[in-house]
Structures are given as structure tokens and as C-alpha cells.
Amino acid sequence: YLRDSVAAAELFAVVVLDPPKFAHNKQQVDKAARGYKDINLSAFKLIREGGYLMTFSCSGAISRDLFQKIVFGALADSGRQAQIVKQLSASDDHPNALTFPEGEYLKGLLLRVY
């Protein structure tokens, strides 16, 4: 759907990317990073000026820092600008052990795109 919408030059006020887990383990991180970059690059092309992107990853093997770098790489490639409105994560009733960073698998960004 993303590629078809880009090809049709459609524009949206809000795009939500909530893909399935792209990396089931550390060996799949590079391939997953390419997948996240691809879908986010497509999404940036679909958002009208001042619109919003909500983008998520549920891959525990992808850290929050890496996810943000991937999204910003896609943003740079798109030639657009964006502001972080909010960093998103699981709700407060979903605590995570300090000794298990992979437990913080749900991460997201709400971006305003220009």
C-alpha cells in the first residue's frame, strides 16, 4: 500500500507505521534496519506539510537509539524536516527490568513533518 500510494502521489495528514517484528534476533538487525528505513522513507513522501508520522518498532533487538537513527536516516534521504513531538513506549503498566533492555521492545516516535 505504501509504494502504491507514493506512486500515486497521495498525501495524508497522518501516517501510522506499526509493522510486525522485523528483527527476531541480533543476526537480523541489519536486514530489519533496511526494512524500517524503507517504510519510513515511503511514509515521509506521503505526509503533507505539517502532517504527522507515528512510527513504531516492536523488535527487542532494535534499540530505541538505533530506531531513532534509522528514522532520521530516512528523513534525511526524503529531503524533509521533522520535529519530535513525543517519544512513545509501552504504557506505565508494562514495566521493564533494568537488567533486560530487550524487554523495552515497543518504541515509537510521533513526528511533525515539514
pLDDT tens for 41-72 read: 999 999 999 999 999 999 999 999 999 999 99
CB of 15 closer than 8 Å to CB of 50: no
CA distances from 92 to 21, 49, 89, 98 (A): 22, 32, 9, 15
pTM here is 0.92
Active-site residue, selected from the candidate residues 2, 6, 54, 58: 58
* Active site (annotated) includes residue 21: no
The topology (CATH level 3) of 2-113 is: Rossmann fold (3.40.50)
How deeply is 72 buried, as exposed, middle or buried, from its count of CB atoms within 10 A (0-12, 13-18, 19+)? Answer: middle
pLDDT recorded at residue 1: 92
